[in-house]
Amino acid sequence: MEILTWTYLLVGLSFALYIGIAIWARAGSTKEFYVAGGGVSPLANGMATAADWMSAASFISMAGLISFAGYDGSVYLMGWTGGYVLLALLLAPYLRKFGKFTVPDFVGDRYYSNKARVVAVICALFISFIYVAGQMRGVGIVFSRYLEVPIEWGVVIGMCIVFFYAVLGGMKGITYTQVAQYCVLIFAYMVPAIFISMQLTGNPIPQLGLGGSLEDGVPLLEKLDGVLADLGFAEYTSGRKGMGDMLMITLALMVGTAGLPHVIVRFFTVPKVKDARLSAGYALIFIAILYTTAPAVAAFGIYNAINSTAEKKLDELPNWIATWEKTNLIQIEDKNADGKVQYLADPKANELTIDKDIMVLASPEIAELPNWVVGLVAAGAMAAALSTAAGLLLVISTSVSRDLFKTFKPDISEKKELQIARLSAAGAVILAGYFGVNPPGFVAEVVAFAFGLAAASFFPVIILGIFSTRINKEGAITGMLVGLVFTIGYISYFKFISPELNTAEYWWWGISPEGIGSIGMIFNFICCYIVSKYTPAPPAHVQELIQEIRIPRGAGKAHDH
């Protein structure tokens, strides 16, 4: 069968599966809509968390990012997995014991203040919108590349699917579709990785293949270091970023991961505190399968790309180059007219430009795998984008219906609240779709925002809310605002106001905008502490609440107080 037929078949089948699950898992109550009734098993929740977490960017772009960054790409690998340690040890069990539905719920109750709640809602909405627009764009790109439909139509089709199961099923529908989506995406990621690892190193396990040797007995990484150095690039296994910047970016990504509302909310869905801890462990295993394979895909990809193009005659290039040249993801320009391709660090002499997304998207063709694998990768990328989009839409709709509506109009009926939740999910899908079709030019730029803001706003006040009995509402509100304003200010300055100054020389303390969330977080901690010290301690019922959440016994299913 043709590639296109396979792709239609596999993507179509996976969509049918998601819709089938959505119909089976319809939400009947607000509790089912917000936290899937609180009865999800830790294993299923771990899988759903993994699918929720791994977005189109993790699936399509991360390996390519590491291909070109080499050792420096480790910040993403450590940052996006290390956050789960913080989540498991410092947040998930206590928030599960607290037992309500959202992060602003916790902030509002623990800091006995609707002002604090509103600040938290605004952060949650902002972070989730930034993220979801990128996912919709990802859906559109996958559609246009593999199914040859215009990006706009791709976004609309994606919107309809997400609309169907997020609006109908709420958290319950989303959780069980995410379990299916995880299976699709991990299978699609591993199949080409295993084959390429076999071809290059003879070892079918990519994690071992990365440390393995090529046919001539030279270790892959050593060979890659040499090849890149010859072409004028930095060695693959050594870094170019400053050590301080590496530390700060890794920290910001870790803390940001632990502070993302769509990840935290997943731990409200399991029955017990014990399950929340275990579930974070399962989630990290499922995530690690992809995250330890990605650096292997990265190294194999860049090695293959250089090997099959550098100094090769233009008319003897492999077929996949021509296929992907059509999409502009690979560009070749014979500048010195010698009929061969030169890949060099010097931009004036370099003749080959490779987009980072190629390392995953073209991997089945590079490895000369059968046509069905190409269709599988398309279905996998789609699963990654849709699962993350759905999780984010739920946070948005919950924030509107519960954190805003219910707070200021506490007497609305459950039926009405569910209606509002569904309506706001629908509104969010349409808005996200709009941004997917007309992406603001800065979508890629603002990803740093999402992590920086989560790190600088939520993380410190949640941690202090659990581990300190002295931090009060004045401290928390000041802390969140200072962290937010500082981080937004710094990122906006270097990304939008004066992008020409965005170099190490002008950064404060040599920290790039990607890593500044760490500093925002520290400021947040300091403000919380100092302001709380000079203002009255939290009232007795809050002290009791804190003692209560520190002890596992007595956690009912997530409930409405």
Partner 1 sequence: MTDRQSKSSAYWKKNLQTLLFLLAIWFLVSFGFGILLVEPLNAIKIGGYPLGFWFAQQGSIYTFILVIFIYVVRMNRLDREFDVNED
Binding mask 114-153 for partner 1 (x = CB under 8 A): ----------------------------------------
Per CB under 8 A, the segment of 19-27, 79-87, 345-353, 406-414 that binds partner 1 is: 79-87
Query: Site for partner 1 (CB under 8 A): which residue of 237, 307, 331, 419?
Result: 237
Rounded distance between C-alpha atoms, residue 355 and residue 338, angstroms: 24
Decide if residue 337 touches partner 1 (CB under 8 A).
Answer: no
- Amino acid sitting at position 396: I
Closer residue to partner 1 in complex, CB, 83/391 = 83
Task: Give, rounded to a whole angstrom, the gap between the first and last alpha carbons of the chain.
Answer: 57
Q: Where are the alpha helices (DSSP H) in 268-316?
A: 273-309
Q: Is the dihedral of CA 48, 49, 53, 59 positive or negative?
A: negative
Rounded distance between C-alpha atoms, residue 79 and residue 96, angstroms: 24
Per CB under 8 A, the segment of 72-80, 359-367, 391-399, 477-485 that binds partner 1 is: 72-80
Report in angstroms how near the CB of residue 468 gets to partner 1 at its nearest.
Answer: 12
Decide if residue 96 touches partner 1 (CB under 8 A).
Answer: no
Q: Which residues of 270-300 are buried (b: 16+ CB within 10 A; e: fewer)?
A: bbbbebbbbbbebbbebbebbbebbbbbbbb
User: Cβ–Cβ contacts within 10 Å for residue 217, how many?
Assistant: 6
* Residues between 264 and 283 that touch partner 1 (CB under 8 A): 272-274, 277-278, 280-281
Query: Site for partner 1 (CB under 8 A): which residue of 221, 260, 389, 545?
Result: 221
Q: Which residue has the tokens 């390392």?
A: 359
Decide if residue 219 touches partner 1 (CB under 8 A).
Answer: yes
Per CB under 8 A, the segment of 127-135, 237-245, 320-328, 402-410 that binds partner 1 is: 237-245
Binding mask 283-312 for partner 1 (x = CB under 8 A): -xx--x--xx--x-----------------
Q: Is the dihedral of CA 444, 295, 3, 373 positive or negative?
A: negative
Query: Site for partner 1 (CB under 8 A): which residue of 29, 144, 199, 207?
Result: 207
Which residues make Cβ contacts (< 8 Å) with residue 391, sequence separation at least 6?
A: 52, 174, 178, 262, 266
* Residues between 50 and 69 that touch partner 1 (CB under 8 A): 66
Helix (H, G, I), strand (E, B) or coil at 269: coil
Question: For 359-394, what is the HEC assignment?
Answer: HHHCHHHHCCCCHHHHHHHHHHHHHHHHHHHHHHHH
Report in angstroms how near the CB of residue 553 gets to partner 1 at its nearest.
Answer: 5
Question: Is the Cβ–Cβ distance between 342 and 310 less than 8 Å?
Answer: yes
Decide if residue 428 touches partner 1 (CB under 8 A).
Answer: no
In which region does residue 269 sit, left (phi positive, over 0), alpha (psi from -120 to 50) or beta (all else)? Answer: alpha
Report in angstroms how near the CB of residue 299 gets to partner 1 at its nearest.
Answer: 9
Decide if residue 190 touches partner 1 (CB under 8 A).
Answer: no
Decide if residue 504 touches partner 1 (CB under 8 A).
Answer: no
Which residues make Cβ contacts (< 8 Å) with residue 314, sequence separation at least 6?
A: 332, 334, 339, 340, 341
Decide if residue 212 touches partner 1 (CB under 8 A).
Answer: yes
Rounded distance between C-alpha atoms, residue 86 and residue 463, angstroms: 10
Rounded distance between C-alpha atoms, residue 101 and residue 265, angstroms: 7
Decide if residue 5 touches partner 1 (CB under 8 A).
Answer: no
Rounded distance between C-alpha atoms, residue 290 and residue 307, angstroms: 25
Decide if residue 370 touches partner 1 (CB under 8 A).
Answer: no
Q: What tokens appear for 249 in the block?
A: 């970016």
Decide if residue 88 touches partner 1 (CB under 8 A).
Answer: yes
Report in angstroms how near the CB of residue 246 gets to partner 1 at its nearest.
Answer: 5
Q: What tokens appear for 221 in the block?
A: 């990484």
Q: Which residue has the tokens 């997530």?
A: 558
Helix (H, G, I), strand (E, B) or coil at 330: strand
Closer residue to partner 1 in complex, CB, 463/480 = 463
Rounded distance between C-alpha atoms, residue 188 and residue 367, angstroms: 14
Decide if residue 247 touches partner 1 (CB under 8 A).
Answer: yes
Report in angstroms how near the CB of residue 518 gets to partner 1 at its nearest.
Answer: 11
Decide if residue 495 touches partner 1 (CB under 8 A).
Answer: no
Task: Determine the size of the site formed for partner 1 (CB under 8 A).
Answer: 53
Decide if residue 84 touches partner 1 (CB under 8 A).
Answer: yes
Query: Site for partner 1 (CB under 8 A): which residue of 37, 38, 64, 82?
Result: 82
- The residues of the shown chain that bind partner 1, judged by CB under 8 A, are 66, 71, 73-74, 77-78, 81-82, 84-85, 88-90, 93, 207-208, 210-213, 219-222, 237-239, 243, 246-247, 250-251, 254, 272-274, 277-278, 280-281, 284-285, 288, 291-292, 295, 547, 550-555
